[in-house]
Amino acid sequence: MLAAFVVAISPSPAHAAGTLLSQGAPATASSTENGSFPASAAVDGNTGTRWSSAFSDPQWLEVDLGSTATISQVVLNWEAAYATGFQIQTSADGTNWTSIYSTTTGAGGTQTLNVSGSGRYVRMYGTKRATAYGYSLWEFQVYGTGGSTPPTGPGNPTGDAFWGDTTTIPVAQNAIEVKILNRTNGAYPDSQVYWSFNGQTHSIADQPYLDMPANSSGRMYFYIGSPTSPYYDFIEFTVGNGVFNGNTTRVDAWGLPLAMRLHATDGYDVQVGDAQKLFDESRTQVFTDFTNAVPQPFQVLAQTQAPYRIIAPGSDPSFQPGGVNANYYTAYAQSAGVNETTQNIFGCAGSMASNPTMCAALNRHVATLPAAQQSDPSQYYTAGPANYYAKFWHDNALGNLAYGFPYDDVDGQSSFVSHSNPQWLEVAVGY
């Protein structure tokens, strides 16, 4: 529903209606043309840098103002690749959107739009390109009052300090004491980093600890910005009979940087999950890193649910039956005596569900090597076809251990940890 339709267009920005809220705020986009044109370039205050999208409709650019703001003006400084049709939309949660401006006759240049609306998130939603190229903005400026743009400092501690002071972790009264750490690199305060488990939802500021009871096949979810934010992820675990079994997982998707540190009463201490690089980089940079690291067929995985998730290949239509990459694994799998769909190989489903060794070998591209070499990590992903989605998470994981596909635990390559008499578990949550 159109909430407001009040427009003023001038060749240069008019006197700002309120405070510039968007500059330096976290920005995300539906796509980028390549790593040279990230979403952040449209809110950096530099008219010599720009965001540029993929060459298709629709596309969008979104800025997070940190908290609810009253929006009074939006200025769009278009590059030659502008929109004739677009909307300015606001949202409280980053999921449900209200249009506060709409046009089908955009003329490009610098457009100053006097609008009326409110929301934490504001985006330009492009519906019709003026050229064969994408949408490109030198600057996307949002003016108004309120908001609380997440701070950019002081950033994450490094080394052992990354895990904070573990001597103050309370003694568990149940199975294990869990401490949640804000490692969003200064992007969000503790009051906007949430955890959820077994019906409880709290911010770190409200409750940084959970005295976890014994449970079977549990999940603990983490949200950034709000308790229902689309920026979320989870860890998996089973706790019982004096043993903790758990892992971080990228089997379905990557949503947030996550890492775990498990400590037991006998001194056992282990860290698994994403490497600190993924915590310290901007979210836009992580998406760009992924796109630059994987072959072209895998790049769509950073676009389908961007900016919220980088999805596993088996979840993308392009790798499913009928998709453009449906036969990605066919010839290689047949050379190893396997007749299975590409989707089922990525997901270790169908006939692969009962053959973990072969599924792992196909994903790692070692299925035609001698058995001894199939368990040698130095042989993994050295040629294609391979699961380059999984490779990226291994390359950016502590100890190179990651759960990039369901049977990634074959030969001990996953982020799964198990130990008796657990004392505490720390979970670092990034953005």
Q: What is the CATH number of the domain that holds 195?
A: 2.60.110
- Residue 224 and residue 429 in contact, taking contact as beta carbons nearer than 8 Å: yes
pLDDT, residue 155, reads 86
- Is residue 97 located within the same domain as residue 139? yes
pLDDT, residue 189, reads 86
- Residue 118 and residue 97 in contact, taking contact as beta carbons nearer than 8 Å: no
DSSP-derived letter for residue 305 is: B
Q: Supply the DSSP string of 52-104, one letter for each residue.
A: E--SSS-EEEEEEEEEEEEEEEEEEEE-SS-EEEEEEEEESSSSS-EEEEEES
> Is 374 a member of any domain?
yes
Boundary residue ending a domain (106, 124, 146): 146
Q: Supply the DSSP string of 8-59, one letter for each residue.
A: ---SS--S-SSEE--TTS-EEES--SSTTS-GGGGGSS-TT--EE--SSS-E
- Residue 109 and residue 79 in contact, taking contact as beta carbons nearer than 8 Å: no
- Is residue 57 located within the same domain as residue 179? no
Instruction: Say how far apart CA 389 and CA 324 lie, in whole Å.
Output: 17
- Is residue 35 located within the same domain as residue 81? yes
pLDDT, residue 246, reads 97
pLDDT, residue 127, reads 98
> Is 44 a member of any domain?
yes
Measured in whole angstroms, the distance separating CA 422 from the mean position of its chain's CA atoms is 30
- Is residue 174 located within the same domain as residue 94? no
pLDDT, residue 306, reads 80
Q: What is the CATH number of the domain that holds 24?
A: 2.60.120.260
What is the residue range of 256's domain? 150-431
- Is residue 163 located within the same domain as residue 262? yes
> Which stretches of the chain drop beneath a pLDDT of 50?
1-16
Token pair, residue 157, equals 């501690």
What phi and psi values does residue 86 have, to the nearest 5 degrees?
A: -160, 165
Token pair, residue 414, equals 């996953």
pLDDT, residue 11, reads 36
> Is 7 a member of any domain?
no
- Is residue 345 located within the same domain as residue 409? yes
Number of structural domains in the chain: 2
- Is residue 128 located within the same domain as residue 174? no
> Is 14 a member of any domain?
no
Boundary residue ending a domain (119, 146, 173): 146
Instruction: Say how far apart CA 195 and CA 426 lie, in whole Å.
Output: 13
- Is residue 268 located within the same domain as residue 349? yes
- Is residue 203 located within the same domain as residue 91? no
Boundary residue ending a domain (95, 127, 146): 146
- Is residue 390 located within the same domain as residue 350? yes
